[in-house]
Structure 1
């Protein structure tokens, strides 16, 4: 059982776990990320013979997952740099349910915008759309994803781009997003 909601590292004896697995349900190499600063693991062994487990722990600073974009409003970002990494909300933890986020990448004269996803794992109720600016309006949809079957995104444009991410309920399957980080890169046109 995994408990990742404790703000002080303590849990009650009969408290419900955030995640519960049988040993065979955890594949080798599976990673878990905590939401808070404490992450508790409780192992219960039955009468069956076992060789135990092996795992490792790494504390990753939250600043490593900060959007390299200016937040204009709640979950609405504008990319000002020539090269930036953007993340879905709460990454690398699960994104919140019912969240709507936009990432605006403005056109720069003489440059081509390239969006390349590094990690793509959106849930079944999430939608990712990328729009291209046509005559100042975001009209041309380049990509619409409604499942995580597509693992990579690559978009190239000389126009402004708008990335729109909308999530339904993420409480049941708690799929870790996303969709991002995505690399946003401006390549000079020659």
Structure 2
């Protein structure tokens, strides 16, 4: 009997240390993703690779492109996150607030509320929806950019679709809002 108890105790400790190791890797991956997002934000959405590489080379930054200002869509302070990073932060905050059951109906509703607050008209992203007669903004806009998936999500909320997955946008971006 004592051998069995010792084996169980050892297994529990082993499982506990495995769980801690997985949690640490997950936290490190999240931190890396958030820092990487911030490092790339200033050069977000550069679709012409040759042109972007030429800018980097001209600035002597080809080997160190992080935090290189070349974003032609929006301007935020260097080190701030993109809307994708903001989504990761909102999701991380949600998971921390609901560690035991982050996907229950109540928790999902709170996640929708959290994402809405992060991107709605009262957020740093500015008014939403934008008035139909508003002039098209001059690029780059000052402040953060709401991409299509976020806009679709907010539109779905305005249409009364507040449950996951119905509130999500129907575009093909991988952020799944």
- TM-score tier (shorter): under 0.3
Name the structure, 1 or 2, with higher relative contact order (CA <8 Å, separation 6+).
Answer: 1
Larger Rg: 2
Larger relative strand fraction: 1
